Amino acid sequence: MALQPGDKFGRYELVSWLGRGGMAETWRARWMGDAGVTKSVLIKKVLPEFVEDDAFISMFINEARISATLSHGNIAQVFDFGRVEGQYYLAMELVDGQPLHHVLKRAVKTGLQRMPIPLAVYIALEMCRGLHYAHTRTDDKGKPLGIVHRDISPDNVLISYEGQVKIVDFGIAKAEMARNFKTEPGVVKGKYHFFSPEQARGKEVDARTDVWATGLVLYELLCGQRPVTGTQAAVMMRMAHGEFPSPREVRPDLPVELDELVMKALSVNIEARFESANAFADALAQFLYSHAPRFSTMNLAYLVRVLFRGDMAVEGRELSVPTSFIDELTVWRASGAPPEVPAKKELAKEASSRAETEMELDLKPGAQRPTRKLLLATGAVGDAHPTVEALESHRPATNTSTRGGMMGWGAMAAFAAVLVIVVGTFYAYVIAPPRAGGPPPLPLSKLGPRASDAPDSPTPLLVRPEEDPPGATKDDVRHARRLLERGDYQSASAMAEKCLTLVTNHPDCLFIAGASMARMKKFDVAVQRYQSLATNHPGHPLAGVTRTLIEEYERKHAEQVASAPRTTSESAPLDAHDVAIVDEWVTKSRALIKKQKYREAAAMAEQCLKVFPSVSDCHLLMGIAKARLDKVDEGARHYRRFLELAPSDHPARGEVATLLKHYEDSKRGGRY
């Protein structure tokens, strides 16, 4: 019988299924100790169909034997190894983050074509530290264990939300202790894109093999691509003979010193490479802190948090990102390189692509959903109780106060929602269409059409991106960009504004003006410039980036408002920024309810109510979440408060009133 969340697996409780590979699957689990002591771990378990595969089991045991000896900050630690009902498993450190290859893909989707130089160098540096530790491990008698990973790639590197770099998967590692897992002569193991020349030829490997692979990872981070593509045979042949371009040939703005470091790590002659991972790390550290002395390791954490903010929101989490990092990310996305590193060279031209969201929540209007029956969220209503048909589309009059229901951004002015439940098993959250004659679009909401919504024919730009504004040469625009990158925001802003007086809404000048204003903390003006770019030039390569930036500035404002003491009365109308904050909380809470993550949904609704206690929709969502958690009395209390606050034409009023009546009748009958 297949395992399910909540099942016991040896001394562990399975929490959630994470994924499945070719021969093993992973679970988020909880170690259960005495006196209620617990610890979150990752369980890597051999699939049942491979328990008799001697070769794979040997490899799995090899991973356990090697990993159990390693304890380093840059290596995911193994805590336990064993068998449950004949199935081998590893209990490992649960790294709260993302695999590096996922980070790279998400970065490209959000306009960051290549990893910023300091971050790329830092990741490779940390990888080297962990590898050197593994390479130099000895047994109890001081004899070197001779560990070589042999499978270094972005797939086997994890980046945590705190900026930690962790190496995983020593499944095919070579070590003297693995006497039963010796690679036969002529047999190669690993991912062929990252094979060293000696691996490709099936020769003996050592620590410098991992140096080569780390150099390849750094190459991909810096250039946004691998040195060679093609068939396995073609890739292995060209890499083994050094027939590939240097990073600087692919990315001309790279400093010469960094290019030389990467190419030394990728020397075909193993004797010409860095003699150890530690030597490579030292060289990278010297480069990093000489070219970016103000580099903070938290920048890596902030990048991953920004890229995967939506994923964390679904889990009911939100980690802070300072506005200063968002400003930095602006320049990185626009130029493809950070401002600190290429002090000696001109930055590369813009290489940003349209921002995309990998996960879009299903928030279709109620009219597009099948009509279902409404029952009390607890599922405690018997068959004798009447059911109520789902709400019809509702268009109440305009109301901008907190008693007017939940108002969203611009055209998405007011959502009215009810929970649709079929006794304790499934539900749908029905959302009414926007209110007719609603409030005018809020300043930061209408960002113009996205590229995906545009007609097949390209949207004409007032000025094509490659054109120069009259009276301003291409060199002037480049100079303004360089001023921005050097940190002379006042001069960059002045030059960009002069450009805009000559050609209204020139896209490059709008972006430079916005970025400069943001760096000078003039966020209102910055948002206006970004919004003009997104609205007037929806097809411009930087339009997606500006949308992302506006969202980040709005989010930061929301955090500041949420943490600030409230001095206004509960009945005071919401301003534009408050509406944005509440809308975000409601959207997240609704998404969590759809994912059946009721505790997280309740926590999100609670955040809303702490700051805006009179927003009716936050009480509605809290009532739904509490009812599904079997906290019926609390749910009823929030349903009552919803009825007190919601306007008479709110589409959920009738249904909530009916639910409460059933609840009161059941309570009087002794059912609660």
Q: List the one residue out of 465, 460, 463, 462 whose CA is nearest residue 481.
A: 465
Here the tokens at position 528 are: 């206006």
Q: Which helix (H) or strand (E) holds 431?
A: strand 426-431
The radius of gyration computed from the CA coordinates of the chain, to the nearest angstrom, equals 29
**DSSP states along 156-200:** GEEEETTS-EEE---TT-B-TT-TT-PPPTT---S-GGG--HHHH
Q: Is 632 helix (H, G, I), strand (E, B) or coil?
A: helix
Cα–Cα distances (Å) from 195 to 75, 211, 212, 478, 579, in that order, read: 21, 11, 8, 41, 54
Q: List the one residue out of 453, 469, 476, 555 whose CA is nearest residue 505.
A: 469
Euclidean distance between CA atoms 31 and 39, whole angstroms: 5
Residue 421's DSSP bridge partners are 427
Place of tokens 């229901």: 405
**Strand runs (DSSP E) across 47-164, as ranges?**
78-84, 87-93, 97-99, 157-160
| Phi, psi angles (nearest 5°) of residue 373 | -90, 145
Residue 348's DSSP bridge partners are none
Euclidean distance between CA atoms 80 and 41, whole angstroms: 10
H/E/C letters for each residue in 379-423?
CCCCCCCCCEECCCCCCCCCCCCHHHCEECCCCCCEECEEEEEEC
The residues that are catalytic are: 151
User: Environment class of residue 359 by beta-carbon count within 10 Å: exposed (0-12), middle (13-18) or buried (19+)?
Assistant: exposed
Cα–Cα distances (Å) from 353 to 144, 350, 538, in that order, read: 48, 9, 12
- The answer to whether 36 touches 46, Cβ cutoff 8 Å, is no
Distance from the Cα of residue 15 to its chain's centroid: 21
H/E/C letters for each residue in 495-517?
HHHHHHHHCCCCHHHHHHHHHHH
Q: Is 136 helix (H, G, I), strand (E, B) or coil?
A: coil
Euclidean distance between CA atoms 373 and 357, whole angstroms: 33
Euclidean distance between CA atoms 75 and 62, whole angstroms: 16
Q: Which helix (H) or strand (E) holds 291?
A: helix 277-291
User: Environment class of residue 594 by beta-carbon count within 10 Å: exposed (0-12), middle (13-18) or buried (19+)?
Assistant: middle
Cα–Cα distances (Å) from 101 to 46, 155, 156, 207, 322, in that order, read: 23, 5, 9, 23, 25
